[in-house]
Structure formats: structure tokens, C-alpha cells
Amino acid sequence: MDDNIQGIVLQGIRYGDTSLIVKVFTRNFGLRSYMVKGAFNRNAKNRAALFQNLHLINYIEAGRPNKGTLGYLKDVQLATVYQSIPFVMNKSAILMYISELLTKTITEQEQNEALYDFIVRSLQWLDLVEQDYANFPLFFTLELTRHLGFYPKDNHANGFCFDMMEGSFAHDYPLHPYYFDADSAATLSKMLNTGIEETCRIPLRVSQRRELLDGLITFMRLHAPVMNDFRSHEVLKTVLE
């Protein structure tokens, strides 16, 4: 019997006039790539709309992807139908940000159930919450660093800065420019090892939120070089207040 696969659509790239190449982060098999033939045809069973970024899907593999070759899938269904994300501009901007963040950082074909579950829980929370989610991108970015292996060391003390290169708080400011000052470092320390709701209740001015987001992207660039051409956070900063 065919096994049903749970996946998160990371990216869909149009191929030719009617087909798609889709990257899916699966719960049990890590990152996989598929060819979806005829996705833009009017009567397609696996229509293109199913493969929008960060859609949560269930499907069956009709052909397993191998090194250098694309797989095929069938019986694709939405595992979750978003209730608010497609219709709320700020949430859609957050989704675009998360989509690029994950596309840049999830590059290996390795199983990571903890990361998969974190992404799904976070997206479902964002879809259901009605207010007080402006800090969500900060929470998601910071928590993603945990799964990528460079979560900040929780050693903050009063007056410390945060050294992005070392990934830890420090009494003395570093000679390089990659750090949070004492005020931003204090806010960062409040976010460490906290849940979504607690992080989103931290009161921040728009300027503080933007500074923290810029800094976290810099932190990720230092430890994940694939982030060098990351851009969607600039759009996010203009709409999320």
C-alpha cells in the first residue's frame, strides 16, 4: 500500500507552459523535489494552486526522487486550509518572509521531524491568531536558529551586548560591527527560550522591531552563508508595525 507523505511546499517554479518543479520539505524524508506535469491545465488533478508557498499538503509518491532526478506525486490534498493568512496583508507578508527564509536554509535531504513540526505549529498559530503577532517573525527566526544549530547562548547579564559572530552575550563590545547594543541585547535575552505567545506579548516600538529583525538576519547570514542575497525582510519591515 502506498504511504501518505506529509509535506510543506517551500517553492514552486514554473517549468514550460503547464508544469511545475516543486520543492517539498517532508516530515519523514527531508527535502524532496518533484515534477508536477500539467499543473496549469484547467482540468489538472494536481493543480498549481495546491503548491503555493508554505501550503501544508499530503500526497503519495508516484515516482521517488533520486540524486539528480525529480520525483512525481499523486493524490495531493491540502492538509490544512488557511483561514486568514491569504486574506490579511500583514500575514501574507510574514508568509513570504518565512518562505524565503526556509528556502534559503533548508537545503539538505535529511529528515528533521522536530524542524518540520515547529514550522507546522508556527504556521497554524499564525493563521488562527487575530492580533498581537507583530513579533512573530522575530520568534520564528530566532527559533529557526535553534534547529539550524546556532541558537544564541543564554548568558545575558545587565549591560551586556550580543556578539553575533560568537553567538553569545558579552560584557565588552567586540571590535567588529556585528553586535546588538545593550538595549537590543536585553530584548533579545527576553525572547530566548520563550514560546510564541510570550514573545509576541513583549512590547516593542516599530523601530525596535525593525532593528531586531535586521540584526537577526545579519546573525543568520554570519552562520548560514546561503542567506547572503536574502531580501524579503525589507518588504516585511514596511508593512508590519
For residue range 130-178, list pLDDT tens digits in order. 999 999 999 999 999 999 999 999 999 999 999 999 999 999 999 999 9
Average pLDDT per consecutive 10 residues, the chain (241 residues; last block may be shorter): 85 92 94 93 88 96 83 93 94 93 87 96 97 95 95 96 98 97 97 95 93 93 78 69 59
Percent of the chain that is helix, strand, coil (3-state, to 5): 40, 20, 40
Topology of 85-239 in CATH?
de novo design (two linked rop proteins) (1.20.1440)
Instruction: Give tens-digit pLDDT for 207-223.
Output: 999 999 999 999 999 99
User: Can you give the residue ranges of every domain in the chain?
Assistant: 4-78, 85-239
pTM over 0.75: yes
Fold annotation for 4-78: OB fold (Dihydrolipoamide Acetyltransferase, E2P) (2.40.50)
What integer pLDDT is reported at residue 1 of this predicted model? 38
CA atoms within 13 A on the CB side of 16: 11
Output b/e per residue, 5-37; b: 16+ Cβ within 10 A: bbbbbbbbeebeeebbbbbbbbbebbbbbbbbe
- pLDDT at position 2 is 60
Reference 58, options 118, 12, 4; nearest CA is 4
- What's at 140, amino acid-wise? F
CA atoms within 13 A on the CB side of 48: 14
Q: State the pLDDT at residue 239.
A: 65
pLDDT at 233: 72
Share of the chain above pLDDT 70, in %: 95
